[in-house]
Structure 1
Amino acid sequence: MRRDRPDRRQRERGFTLIEAVVALLILALGLTAVMRLVSTGLDATQAANRLSIETLLARSELARFAVEQPIEPGEQAGELAGGYRWRRIVRPLAEMPGLVLLEVALTVWREGRDAGHSVTTLRLIPALAGGRAA
């Protein structure tokens, strides 16, 4: 019997260094991909939360404006609680005998952010003498 070659049991005893390094590399790549997915999911959740808050605030302000003050064409802006700001733009779209159709757009955004969320609605209001909005 020749002793030049290692017998089968000696060759199958464990992992080689290269196998261990490749396994760790594959594990590291997999964990990196999972971390990116988690990060993307968290970003999407934060964006959805911000959009929900801005939409609710915009709808609330539109309802408040309709009750507290007459709707007139023009632009107004103001502040809300929590560091939010709003801008309302009202413009006439069409005039009919005794009525004016207005487009009311209200944008809400967080202080320090460039973009916010806009909600637009149409309002039909009585016209004043001369065809202007009441």
Structure 2
Amino acid sequence: MAACRPRLPPPRQRGFTLIEVVVAFSILAVGLGIMMQIAVGAMRQARNATEFTEAALYAQSLLDSIGVGERLEEGGDSGEFGERYRWDLDVTPYEAFSEGDAALVPEMVPITLYRLDLVVRWDRGVHTHEAHFATLRALTPDEGLR
């Protein structure tokens, strides 16, 4: 006679309940939403950086050409870079010496300093963005064309 084996209960089927599936999909949806917000923010920052870099390159080009070929004078000017960027420039005399500098008399220094303040503006949607740039330009008082 064969040995009698105890009868095992039938194997239970294992799986996920409906609540577990819903919770898993909810966590996935929240995670994907957060990741999309991060990606959109990164793209916005890249666009801002690109626009500011373009404005800075235009500003550098303009500031490098100011006073070349004609004498720099006090006043203001404005214009456009292409269709998108607008600029305003103010040129003002700059006094480099304070009243406490008794040893340095401005009349004895053979240069005139001008401060160039440049504002570049551009529109994106309903918002106007701007970048400010400033530099000093030194001229000799009797300097002709540069």
Using the alignment, how far apart are the partners of 1:7 and 1:68 within structure 2?
Answer: 98
SS of the residue corresponding to residue 71 of structure 1 reads: coil
C-alpha RMSD of the superposition: 2.1
For the residue of structure 2 that corresponds to 1:82, the secondary structure is: coil
Structure with greater helix percent? 1
- Alignment equivalent of 2:12, drawn from 9, 12, 17: 9
Gaps of 5+ in 2: 1-8, 97-105
CA contact under 8 A between 2:123 and 2:129: conserved in structure 1?
no
Q: Is the contact made by 1:55 and 1:118 (CA closer than 8 Å) also made in structure 2?
A: no
User: Is the 8 Å Cα contact of residues 85 and 111 (structure 1) preserved in structure 2?
Assistant: no
What amino acid is the match of 1:56? Answer: L
> For structure 1, which runs of at least 5 residues remain unmatched after alignment?
1-5, 129-134
Equivalences for residues 1-134 of structure 1 within 5 A:
9-10=12-13, 12=14, 14-94=15-95, 96-97=106-107, 98-111=110-123, 114-127=128-141
Residues of 2 paired with 1:43 and 1:111: CA distance? 15
When Rg is computed on C-alpha atoms for both structures, the one with the higher figure is 2
User: 1:21 Cα shift?
Assistant: 0.2
Q: CA 1:79/1:104 → structure 2, altered by over 3 Å: closer, same or farther?
A: same
TM-score by length of 1: 0.79
Does the aligned pair in 2 maintain the 1:87–1:107 contact within 8 Å?
A: yes
Q: How much does 1:7 deviate?
A: 6.5
Distance 1:69 1:79 in 2: 20
Residue identity (%): 32
Runs of 4+ in 1 over 4 A off after TM superposition: none
Query: TM-score normalised to the size of structure 2?
Result: 0.73
| Contact kept in structure 1, 2:85 and 2:120, CA below 8 Å | yes
